[in-house]
Amino acid sequence: MKKFYWSAPRRSVCPIIPIFLPFRGCPARCVYCAQHTQTGQGPMPFQDILDKAGTVLRARALAGLPPPELAFYGGTFTSMPEKEQRQCLDLADSALQRGLICSFRCSTRPDSVDIPALTRLRDAGCSTVELGVQSFTDAALTAARRGYDGAAAAAACNLVKQAGLNLGVQLLPGMPGVSPEVFICDVSAALRMGADMLRFYPCLVLAGTELAREWRAGGYRPWDMEVCLASLAQGCLMAMAHKTPVIRMGLAPEAALDGEVLAGPVHPALGERVMARALLMAVLQEADGGRLFALDAPLRCQGYFWGHRGELRAAWAALGLGSDEVRFVEGEEVRLYL
Ligand code: SF4
Protein backbone atom coordinates (compact mmCIF):
# COMPACT_ATOMS: atom_id res chain seq x y z
CA MET A 1 0.00 0.00 0.00
CA LYS A 2 1.20 3.52 -0.77
CA LYS A 3 -0.31 6.71 0.52
CA PHE A 4 0.02 10.47 0.23
CA TYR A 5 -1.72 13.50 1.69
CA TRP A 6 -4.30 15.27 -0.42
CA SER A 7 -4.86 18.39 1.55
CA ALA A 8 -5.62 21.56 -0.37
CA PRO A 9 -3.94 24.42 1.53
CA ARG A 10 -6.43 26.43 3.56
CA ARG A 11 -7.86 29.57 2.04
CA SER A 12 -8.86 32.52 4.15
CA VAL A 13 -11.97 31.77 6.19
CA CYS A 14 -13.14 35.33 5.54
CA PRO A 15 -15.40 35.74 2.51
CA ILE A 16 -14.09 38.34 0.07
CA ILE A 17 -16.35 41.20 -0.98
CA PRO A 18 -14.88 42.82 -4.10
CA ILE A 19 -15.16 46.47 -5.00
CA PHE A 20 -14.45 46.65 -8.70
CA LEU A 21 -12.71 49.78 -9.92
CA PRO A 22 -12.43 48.87 -13.62
CA PHE A 23 -9.27 50.25 -15.27
CA ARG A 24 -8.79 52.82 -12.46
CA GLY A 25 -5.10 53.75 -12.38
CA CYS A 26 -4.17 51.51 -15.34
CA PRO A 27 -1.46 53.12 -17.46
CA ALA A 28 -2.91 51.49 -20.60
CA ARG A 29 -5.35 48.77 -21.61
CA CYS A 30 -3.57 45.43 -21.60
CA VAL A 31 -4.15 43.46 -24.79
CA TYR A 32 -6.35 40.77 -23.18
CA CYS A 33 -8.16 42.85 -20.57
CA ALA A 34 -11.86 43.74 -20.64
CA GLN A 35 -12.54 44.68 -17.03
CA HIS A 36 -16.14 45.83 -17.60
CA THR A 37 -16.98 42.41 -19.07
CA GLN A 38 -14.90 40.43 -16.56
CA THR A 39 -16.37 42.16 -13.54
CA GLY A 40 -19.88 42.70 -14.89
CA GLN A 41 -19.60 46.34 -13.85
CA GLY A 42 -20.05 49.09 -16.39
CA PRO A 43 -18.68 52.61 -15.99
CA MET A 44 -19.91 54.24 -12.76
CA PRO A 45 -18.94 57.39 -10.89
CA PHE A 46 -16.17 56.57 -8.42
CA GLN A 47 -18.06 57.78 -5.34
CA ASP A 48 -21.11 55.71 -6.33
CA ILE A 49 -18.95 52.56 -6.39
CA LEU A 50 -17.73 53.25 -2.86
CA ASP A 51 -21.19 54.19 -1.59
CA LYS A 52 -22.62 50.97 -3.00
CA ALA A 53 -19.89 48.97 -1.24
CA GLY A 54 -20.65 50.71 2.05
CA THR A 55 -24.34 49.80 1.67
CA VAL A 56 -23.46 46.15 1.00
CA LEU A 57 -21.23 45.99 4.09
CA ARG A 58 -23.89 47.52 6.34
CA ALA A 59 -26.54 45.16 4.95
CA ARG A 60 -24.30 42.15 5.63
CA ALA A 61 -23.74 43.27 9.21
CA LEU A 62 -27.48 43.83 9.73
CA ALA A 63 -28.15 40.34 8.40
CA GLY A 64 -25.73 38.97 11.01
CA LEU A 65 -23.19 37.75 8.44
CA PRO A 66 -19.55 37.53 9.54
CA PRO A 67 -17.30 40.48 8.62
CA PRO A 68 -15.76 39.86 5.21
CA GLU A 69 -12.46 40.94 3.72
CA LEU A 70 -12.88 43.91 1.40
CA ALA A 71 -10.98 43.78 -1.91
CA PHE A 72 -10.23 46.61 -4.32
CA TYR A 73 -9.96 44.85 -7.67
CA GLY A 74 -10.17 45.57 -11.37
CA GLY A 75 -7.59 48.31 -11.77
CA THR A 76 -4.14 49.38 -10.64
CA PHE A 77 -4.82 50.48 -7.08
CA THR A 78 -1.45 52.05 -6.29
CA SER A 79 -1.48 54.13 -9.49
CA MET A 80 -4.91 55.63 -8.91
CA PRO A 81 -4.95 59.36 -8.17
CA GLU A 82 -3.89 59.99 -4.59
CA LYS A 83 -7.34 61.35 -3.72
CA GLU A 84 -9.10 58.16 -4.91
CA GLN A 85 -6.67 55.93 -3.02
CA ARG A 86 -7.35 57.99 0.09
CA GLN A 87 -11.14 57.65 -0.37
CA CYS A 88 -10.75 53.86 -0.60
CA LEU A 89 -8.49 53.71 2.45
CA ASP A 90 -10.91 55.91 4.40
CA LEU A 91 -13.78 53.55 3.52
CA ALA A 92 -11.71 50.53 4.58
CA ASP A 93 -10.55 52.25 7.76
CA SER A 94 -14.06 53.22 8.80
CA ALA A 95 -15.35 49.69 8.00
CA LEU A 96 -12.49 48.18 10.03
CA GLN A 97 -13.19 50.49 13.00
CA ARG A 98 -16.86 49.56 12.95
CA GLY A 99 -16.17 45.83 12.63
CA LEU A 100 -17.87 45.68 9.22
CA ILE A 101 -14.81 44.00 7.66
CA CYS A 102 -12.00 41.88 9.07
CA SER A 103 -9.31 43.18 6.69
CA PHE A 104 -8.84 44.46 3.15
CA ARG A 105 -6.67 43.83 0.15
CA CYS A 106 -6.03 45.33 -3.26
CA SER A 107 -4.65 44.33 -6.63
CA THR A 108 -2.13 46.25 -8.64
CA ARG A 109 0.63 45.95 -11.26
CA PRO A 110 4.20 44.99 -10.41
CA ASP A 111 5.52 48.23 -11.90
CA SER A 112 3.19 50.33 -9.76
CA VAL A 113 4.46 49.45 -6.31
CA ASP A 114 7.16 51.08 -4.25
CA ILE A 115 7.98 51.16 -0.55
CA PRO A 116 6.02 54.36 0.28
CA ALA A 117 2.86 53.03 -1.42
CA LEU A 118 3.12 49.64 0.28
CA THR A 119 3.87 51.20 3.66
CA ARG A 120 0.82 53.44 3.31
CA LEU A 121 -1.31 50.38 2.56
CA ARG A 122 0.10 48.39 5.44
CA ASP A 123 -0.36 51.27 7.88
CA ALA A 124 -3.98 51.60 6.76
CA GLY A 125 -4.62 47.98 7.74
CA CYS A 126 -4.22 46.30 4.35
CA SER A 127 -3.42 42.60 4.71
CA THR A 128 -2.65 41.49 1.16
CA VAL A 129 -1.43 42.94 -2.10
CA GLU A 130 -2.20 40.88 -5.18
CA LEU A 131 0.17 41.54 -8.06
CA GLY A 132 -1.03 41.00 -11.61
CA VAL A 133 2.35 39.54 -12.51
CA GLN A 134 0.94 37.37 -15.35
CA SER A 135 4.42 35.94 -16.09
CA PHE A 136 7.96 36.26 -14.81
CA THR A 137 9.37 35.46 -18.25
CA ASP A 138 10.84 38.36 -20.24
CA ALA A 139 9.85 37.00 -23.65
CA ALA A 140 6.23 36.50 -22.58
CA LEU A 141 6.02 39.92 -20.93
CA THR A 142 7.37 41.46 -24.13
CA ALA A 143 5.00 39.43 -26.33
CA ALA A 144 2.03 40.58 -24.20
CA ARG A 145 3.37 44.17 -24.14
CA ARG A 146 3.09 44.30 -20.35
CA GLY A 147 5.63 47.10 -20.07
CA TYR A 148 7.91 45.52 -17.42
CA ASP A 149 10.29 42.59 -17.35
CA GLY A 150 10.71 39.53 -15.17
CA ALA A 151 13.22 41.25 -12.91
CA ALA A 152 10.72 44.05 -12.19
CA ALA A 153 8.02 41.47 -11.41
CA ALA A 154 10.35 39.66 -9.00
CA ALA A 155 11.43 42.93 -7.38
CA ALA A 156 7.79 43.90 -6.81
CA CYS A 157 7.12 40.55 -5.11
CA ASN A 158 10.07 41.16 -2.81
CA LEU A 159 8.84 44.66 -1.94
CA VAL A 160 5.41 43.34 -0.95
CA LYS A 161 6.99 40.71 1.30
CA GLN A 162 9.44 43.24 2.77
CA ALA A 163 6.53 45.53 3.63
CA GLY A 164 5.10 42.74 5.76
CA LEU A 165 2.08 42.22 3.49
CA ASN A 166 0.73 38.93 2.21
CA LEU A 167 1.67 38.44 -1.42
CA GLY A 168 -0.85 37.23 -3.99
CA VAL A 169 0.48 36.41 -7.45
CA GLN A 170 -1.86 36.32 -10.42
CA LEU A 171 -0.61 34.35 -13.43
CA LEU A 172 -2.07 34.29 -16.94
CA PRO A 173 -1.35 30.88 -18.49
CA GLY A 174 -1.75 31.00 -22.26
CA MET A 175 -1.06 34.74 -22.49
CA PRO A 176 0.88 35.56 -25.69
CA GLY A 177 4.32 34.04 -25.14
CA VAL A 178 3.26 31.79 -22.24
CA SER A 179 3.57 28.13 -23.27
CA PRO A 180 2.83 25.32 -20.78
CA GLU A 181 6.58 25.14 -20.05
CA VAL A 182 6.75 28.89 -19.40
CA PHE A 183 3.72 28.66 -17.11
CA ILE A 184 5.36 25.93 -15.02
CA CYS A 185 8.48 28.13 -14.70
CA ASP A 186 6.19 31.02 -13.68
CA VAL A 187 4.52 28.95 -10.94
CA SER A 188 7.93 27.88 -9.72
CA ALA A 189 9.13 31.51 -9.68
CA ALA A 190 6.02 32.70 -7.81
CA LEU A 191 6.52 30.03 -5.14
CA ARG A 192 10.20 30.92 -4.88
CA MET A 193 9.24 34.58 -4.38
CA GLY A 194 7.21 33.52 -1.36
CA ALA A 195 3.71 33.96 -2.80
CA ASP A 196 1.15 33.38 -0.05
CA MET A 197 -1.55 32.63 -2.60
CA LEU A 198 -1.86 32.20 -6.35
CA ARG A 199 -4.52 32.82 -8.94
CA PHE A 200 -4.48 31.18 -12.35
CA TYR A 201 -6.48 33.00 -15.01
CA PRO A 202 -6.17 31.11 -18.33
CA CYS A 203 -5.99 33.69 -21.10
CA LEU A 204 -9.29 34.16 -22.94
CA VAL A 205 -10.05 36.12 -26.08
CA LEU A 206 -12.64 38.64 -24.98
CA ALA A 207 -14.66 40.79 -27.37
CA GLY A 208 -13.39 44.31 -27.82
CA THR A 209 -9.80 43.62 -26.80
CA GLU A 210 -6.63 44.02 -28.79
CA LEU A 211 -6.14 40.27 -28.38
CA ALA A 212 -9.44 39.66 -30.19
CA ARG A 213 -8.12 41.61 -33.15
CA GLU A 214 -4.86 39.64 -33.10
CA TRP A 215 -6.78 36.35 -32.81
CA ARG A 216 -8.99 37.26 -35.79
CA ALA A 217 -5.90 38.12 -37.79
CA GLY A 218 -4.39 34.74 -36.93
CA GLY A 219 -1.65 36.21 -34.77
CA TYR A 220 -2.73 34.58 -31.50
CA ARG A 221 -3.96 31.11 -30.64
CA PRO A 222 -5.30 30.45 -27.15
CA TRP A 223 -4.57 27.22 -25.29
CA ASP A 224 -7.03 24.43 -25.90
CA MET A 225 -8.91 23.03 -22.92
CA GLU A 226 -6.84 19.88 -22.53
CA VAL A 227 -3.54 21.79 -22.47
CA CYS A 228 -5.05 24.21 -19.99
CA LEU A 229 -6.35 21.49 -17.65
CA ALA A 230 -3.09 19.54 -17.68
CA SER A 231 -0.94 22.65 -17.13
CA LEU A 232 -3.09 24.04 -14.33
CA ALA A 233 -3.18 20.62 -12.68
CA GLN A 234 0.61 20.54 -12.67
CA GLY A 235 0.70 24.09 -11.30
CA CYS A 236 -1.74 23.10 -8.54
CA LEU A 237 0.40 20.12 -7.55
CA MET A 238 3.44 22.39 -7.27
CA ALA A 239 1.46 24.86 -5.15
CA MET A 240 0.14 22.08 -2.91
CA ALA A 241 3.68 20.82 -2.37
CA HIS A 242 4.51 24.33 -1.09
CA LYS A 243 1.30 24.49 0.97
CA THR A 244 0.33 27.58 -1.04
CA PRO A 245 -3.36 27.92 -1.90
CA VAL A 246 -4.53 28.55 -5.44
CA ILE A 247 -7.46 30.78 -4.58
CA ARG A 248 -8.96 31.10 -8.05
CA MET A 249 -8.80 29.28 -11.38
CA GLY A 250 -10.50 31.00 -14.29
CA LEU A 251 -12.65 34.11 -14.34
CA ALA A 252 -15.54 34.23 -11.90
CA PRO A 253 -18.82 33.47 -13.69
CA GLU A 254 -20.43 36.72 -14.80
CA ALA A 255 -23.57 37.18 -16.88
CA ALA A 256 -21.71 39.92 -18.76
CA LEU A 257 -19.21 37.29 -20.02
CA ASP A 258 -21.92 35.40 -21.92
CA GLY A 259 -21.24 35.73 -25.61
CA GLU A 260 -18.15 37.88 -24.98
CA VAL A 261 -15.64 35.01 -24.78
CA LEU A 262 -14.63 34.54 -28.40
CA ALA A 263 -12.07 31.80 -27.80
CA GLY A 264 -10.01 30.17 -25.08
CA PRO A 265 -10.38 27.59 -22.33
CA VAL A 266 -13.47 28.69 -20.44
CA HIS A 267 -15.62 26.36 -18.34
CA PRO A 268 -17.84 26.97 -15.30
CA ALA A 269 -16.31 24.03 -13.41
CA LEU A 270 -12.72 24.73 -14.43
CA GLY A 271 -11.35 24.54 -10.88
CA GLU A 272 -12.91 21.16 -10.17
CA ARG A 273 -11.80 19.76 -13.52
CA VAL A 274 -8.27 20.88 -12.74
CA MET A 275 -8.32 19.35 -9.25
CA ALA A 276 -9.62 16.07 -10.69
CA ARG A 277 -6.69 15.94 -13.09
CA ALA A 278 -4.23 16.94 -10.41
CA LEU A 279 -5.37 14.02 -8.26
CA LEU A 280 -5.15 11.62 -11.20
CA MET A 281 -1.63 12.90 -11.98
CA ALA A 282 -0.55 12.40 -8.38
CA VAL A 283 -1.92 8.84 -8.31
CA LEU A 284 -0.31 7.99 -11.67
CA GLN A 285 3.00 9.19 -10.32
CA GLU A 286 2.69 7.04 -7.19
CA ALA A 287 1.46 4.02 -9.15
CA ASP A 288 4.56 4.30 -11.36
CA GLY A 289 3.10 2.37 -14.29
CA GLY A 290 1.44 -0.30 -12.14
CA ARG A 291 -2.27 -1.11 -11.81
CA LEU A 292 -4.26 -0.72 -8.60
CA PHE A 293 -6.83 -3.05 -7.15
CA ALA A 294 -8.37 -0.40 -4.87
CA LEU A 295 -8.02 3.21 -3.78
CA ASP A 296 -9.25 5.26 -0.81
CA ALA A 297 -9.69 9.00 -1.38
CA PRO A 298 -10.79 11.76 1.02
CA LEU A 299 -14.54 12.33 1.11
CA ARG A 300 -14.19 15.90 -0.12
CA CYS A 301 -12.81 14.63 -3.46
CA GLN A 302 -16.03 12.78 -4.15
CA GLY A 303 -17.56 15.65 -6.10
CA TYR A 304 -14.77 15.87 -8.64
CA PHE A 305 -12.96 12.52 -8.49
CA TRP A 306 -14.36 11.06 -11.74
CA GLY A 307 -14.04 14.38 -13.56
CA HIS A 308 -16.73 16.56 -15.09
CA ARG A 309 -19.50 14.23 -16.32
CA GLY A 310 -17.18 11.29 -15.69
CA GLU A 311 -14.58 12.50 -18.20
CA LEU A 312 -11.79 10.77 -16.25
CA ARG A 313 -13.51 7.39 -15.79
CA ALA A 314 -11.58 5.87 -18.71
CA ALA A 315 -8.26 7.07 -17.29
CA TRP A 316 -9.09 5.62 -13.86
CA ALA A 317 -10.27 2.38 -15.52
CA ALA A 318 -6.89 2.10 -17.25
CA LEU A 319 -5.39 2.04 -13.75
CA GLY A 320 -7.81 -0.71 -12.76
CA LEU A 321 -10.28 1.48 -10.87
CA GLY A 322 -14.04 1.72 -11.28
CA SER A 323 -16.76 2.70 -8.81
CA ASP A 324 -16.44 -0.64 -6.96
CA GLU A 325 -12.73 -0.16 -6.33
CA VAL A 326 -12.81 3.43 -5.03
CA ARG A 327 -13.94 4.34 -1.51
CA PHE A 328 -14.39 7.88 -0.24
CA VAL A 329 -13.35 8.03 3.39
CA GLU A 330 -12.81 10.55 6.22
CA GLY A 331 -9.36 12.10 6.45
CA GLU A 332 -6.85 13.66 4.11
CA GLU A 333 -4.98 10.63 2.81
CA VAL A 334 -5.14 8.95 -0.55
CA ARG A 335 -4.30 5.25 -0.15
CA LEU A 336 -3.30 3.17 -3.15
CA TYR A 337 -3.61 -0.64 -2.98
CA LEU A 338 -1.18 -1.98 -5.53
S1 SF4 B 1 -4.70 43.74 -16.90
FE2 SF4 B 1 -4.60 44.97 -15.03
S3 SF4 B 1 -3.25 46.69 -15.60
FE4 SF4 B 1 -3.95 45.77 -17.52
S5 SF4 B 1 -5.74 46.96 -18.11
FE6 SF4 B 1 -6.47 45.16 -16.98
S7 SF4 B 1 -6.66 45.85 -14.86
FE8 SF4 B 1 -5.39 47.34 -15.92
pLDDT in tens, 19-75: 999 999 999 999 999 988 888 888 889 999 999 999 999 999 999 999 999 999 999
Tell me which residues have their CB closer than 6 angstroms to ligand 1. Answer: 23, 26, 29-30, 33, 35, 75-76, 109, 132
Q: What is the mean pLDDT of residues 72-97?
A: 96
Total-model pTM: 0.95
For residue 21, what is the DSSP state? -
Lowest mean pLDDT among 76-90, 245-259, 262-276, 306-320: 245-259
Q: Looking at ligand 1, which residue's alpha carbon is closest to its atom 4?
A: 30
Taking all residues of the chain, what is their mean pLDDT, rounded to a whole number? 95
Q: Which atom of ligand 1 is nearest to the CA of 132?
A: 2
Residue 10: predicted pLDDT: 66
The candidate with the shortest Cα–Cα distance to 46, out of 74, 78, 87, is 87
- Considering only residues 7 and 154, tell me which one the structure prediction assigns the higher pLDDT: 154
145 Cβ neighbours under 8 A, 6+ residues apart: 30, 31
Q: Are 199 and 168 contacting, i.e. CB atoms less than 8 angstroms apart?
A: yes
Q: What is the mean pLDDT of residues 75-98?
A: 96
Binned at pLDDT 50, 70 and 90, residue 11 comes out as low
Q: Domains of the chain by range and CATH?
A: 2-268 (3.20.20.70), 278-337 (no CATH)
Could you report the per-residue pLDDT of 140-196, keeping only the tens digit for each?
Answer: 999 888 999 999 999 999 999 999 999 999 999 999 999 999 999 999 999 999 999
Distance, CA 237 to ligand 1 centroid (Å)? 28
Q: Are 157 and 196 contacting, i.e. CB atoms less than 8 angstroms apart?
A: no
